[in-house]
C-alpha cells in the first residue's frame, strides 16, 4: 500500500478512501487489496459500503471470492443473499484447480445451466451477447476464462487440450452443475469435445459446437483437408513478433470484415484486441499447438447427447470442410446448420440468429425430455 493509503487506514478513513476509489474506478485491483487487508474493526462498515450503490460493481466482481467473508451475525443473512450464494445469483468468481491455477468465471441468471467455452485468444466476455439473451429467457449462463486467458491465472504449464478439459470439469464439479448444456466456439468447441471424451456426459444434457475446431485442424495423411503446418507456424511467428498488431490484423478475417461490402465495427475489433492482450504470452503461444494439432475424432465419437453444430460457410479461420462437415458425420445424430456467408466470429456478426438457434435447440430438447 502507498504511504497515503497507509495514512488513511491508520487514520480510520478506510471507507472514505475506498468510496473515492470505487467512484473513480469501480474495478481497480488496489481496492480489492485494501478490502482484503482491512482491520476487523472496519468489517461491518466495509460490508455496508460493498452492498451500497457505489460498491455494487466491486461486489459483483469480487464477492464470490472465497477470500472475502462478510462480517459477523449482523450481516451474515444479508451477505448470503447479496453475495449471490443462492442458486442462480452467483455473479462472478474463481475456482482453484488441483495444480493451483485460478479459473475466473461469470455466472448469470437462474435455471438450467448453459456453460460456455470460448475460443483463442478470447475470454468469457466474448459470450456476453449469448449470456444476456439466454439469461433473460430463464437460463443460468456460466462462462469461464480458459487458463492463460482473460482474468484466469497465466501458468507456464497446462496449456493443452487435456488440461483445458480438466479445468472445465473442475468448474462444473465446483458449481455442482447437472444436466448442463455445453456451448463451445472454435477452440472452445474442442474443449467441450475433449471434456466429454475425458469425463463423459453424466453431467451433460446436450452440446453445441459453433465454428468449432474438431475433428482436427492440421493437415495430415489421414486428414488431407486440414490446414498445412505452415499456417500455424505463421500464427506463432505473428504472436511472437508483435502480438498486439497480430491480434488487430486477425480481426479482419475473423469477423469477415475483409469481404467486399462488409460493415466493419471498430468496437468489435477493439474488444477482440483487448481480450487478446489480456491473454498471457504462454497461453497465447502454447494454445496454438493445442487448437491446431489435437485430434478430437475419438472424443466426438463419445458424444451421446443431442448436439447442434453451427458453422459459417465463409469461415476463414476454421474452414467448414475440414471441421463441421466432418464433425456432423462423426457425432451420432448431430444436427448441422450452415450459415451462408457467416464468418468465424458469427457469435458477434450473426448474434441474433445464433441466439435464436441456441434458444430453439435448448427449448426443443427441454420439451422433448420433459
pTM of the model: 0.77
pLDDT given at position 29: 44
Give the pLDDT confidence of 262-312 residue by residue, as tens digits: 999 999 999 999 999 999 999 999 999 999 999 999 999 999 999 999 999
CA 171, 175, 177, 181 torsion-angle sign: negative
pLDDT given at position 337: 98
Give the pLDDT confidence of 118-139 residue by residue, as tens digits: 999 999 999 999 999 999 999 9
- The closest alpha carbon to 324, from 221, 209, 185, belongs to 209
Give the pLDDT mean for 45-64: 43
Percent of the chain with pLDDT over 90: 73
Q: Tell me the average pLDDT of the chain.
A: 83
Classified by CATH at the fold level, domain 91-369 comes out as Rossmann fold (3.40.50)
Q: Write the CB contacts of 313 (distance below 8 Å, at least 6 apart in sequence).
A: 320, 338, 339, 340, 341, 342
pLDDT given at position 361: 98
pLDDT given at position 91: 83
Cβ(308)–Cβ(208) below 8 Å: yes
The angle subtended at Cα 208 by Cα 143 and Cα 304, nearest 5°, is: 120
pLDDT given at position 164: 98
- The residues annotated as belonging to the active site are 186, 315, 344
Looking at the chain, the domain(s) classified CATH 3.40.50.1820 span 91-369
pLDDT at 30 over 70: no
- 142: β partners: 107, 115
* Position 62 confidence tier, pLDDT thresholds 50, 70, 90: very low
- The closest alpha carbon to 46, from 91, 38, 11, belongs to 38
Give the pLDDT mean for 181-194: 98
Give the pLDDT mean for 49-71: 41
Cα–Cα distance list, 43 to 35, 56, 83, 266 (Å): 9, 16, 15, 44
Amino acid at each position: 500500500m502507498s504511504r497515503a493509503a497507509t495514512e488513511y487506514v491508520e487514520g480510520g478513513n478506510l471507507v472514505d478512501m475506498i468510496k473515492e476509489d470505487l467512484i473513480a474506478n469501480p474495478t481497480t485491483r488496489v481496492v480489492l487489496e485494501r478490502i482484503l487487508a482491512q482491520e476487523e474493526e472496519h468489517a461491518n462498515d466495509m460490508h455496508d459500503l460493498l452492498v451500497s450503490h457505489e460498491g455494487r460493481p466491486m461486489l459483483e466482481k469480487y464477492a464470490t471470492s472465497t477470500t472475502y467473508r462478510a462480517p459477523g451475525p449482523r450481516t451474515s443473512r444479508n451477505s448470503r443473499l447479496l453475495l449471490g450464494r443462492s442458486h442462480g445469483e452467483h455473479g462472478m468468481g474463481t475456482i482453484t484447480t488441483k495444480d493451483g491455477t485460478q479459473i475466473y468465471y461469470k455466472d448469470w441468471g437462474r435455471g438450467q445451466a448453459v456453460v460456455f467455452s470460448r475460443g483463442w485468444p478470447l475470454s468469457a466476455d466474448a459470450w456476453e451477447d449469448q449470456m444476456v439473451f439466454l439469461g433473460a429467457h430463464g437460463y443460468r449462463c456460466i462462462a469461464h476464462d480458459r487458463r492463460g486467458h482473460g482474468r484466469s491465472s497465466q501458468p507456464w504449464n497446462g496449456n493443452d487440450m487435456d488440461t483445458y478439459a480438466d479445468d472445465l470439469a473442475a468448474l462444473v464439479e465446483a458449481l455442482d452443475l447437472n444436466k448442463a448444456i455445453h456451448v463451445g466456439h472454435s477452440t472452445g468447441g474442442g474443449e467441450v469435445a475433449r471434456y466429454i471424451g475425458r469425463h463423459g456426459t453424466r453431467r451433460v444434457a446436450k452440446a453445441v459446437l459453433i465454428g468449432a475446431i474438431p475433428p482436427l485442424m492440421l493437415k495430415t495423411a489421414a486428414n488431407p483437408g486440414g490446414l498445412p503446418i505452415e499456417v500455424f507456424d505463421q500464427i506463432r511467428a505473428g504472436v511472437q513478433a508483435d502480438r498486439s498488431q497480430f491480434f488487430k490484423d486477425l480481426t479482419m478475417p475473423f469477423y469477415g470484415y475483409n469481404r467486399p461490402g462488409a460493415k466493419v465495427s471498430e468496437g468489435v475489433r477493439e474488444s477482440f484486441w483487448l481480450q487478446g492482450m489480456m491473454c498471457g504470452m504462454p497461453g497465447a503461444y502454447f494454445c496454438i499447438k493445442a487448437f491446431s494439432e489435437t485430434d478430437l475424432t475419438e472424443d466426438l465419437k463419445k458424444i451421446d447427447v443431442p448436439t447442434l453444430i453451427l458453422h459459417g460457410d465463409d469461415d476463414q479461420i476454421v474452414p467448414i470442410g475440414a471441421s463441421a462437415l466432418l464433425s456432423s458425420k462423426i457425432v451420432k445424430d448431430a444436427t448441422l446448420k450452415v450459415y451462408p456467408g457467416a464468418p468465424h466470429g458469427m457469435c458477434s456478426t450473426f448474434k441474433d440468429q445464433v441466439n435464436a438457434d441456441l434458444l430453439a435447440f435448448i427449448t426443443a430438447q427441454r420439451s422433448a425430455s420433459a
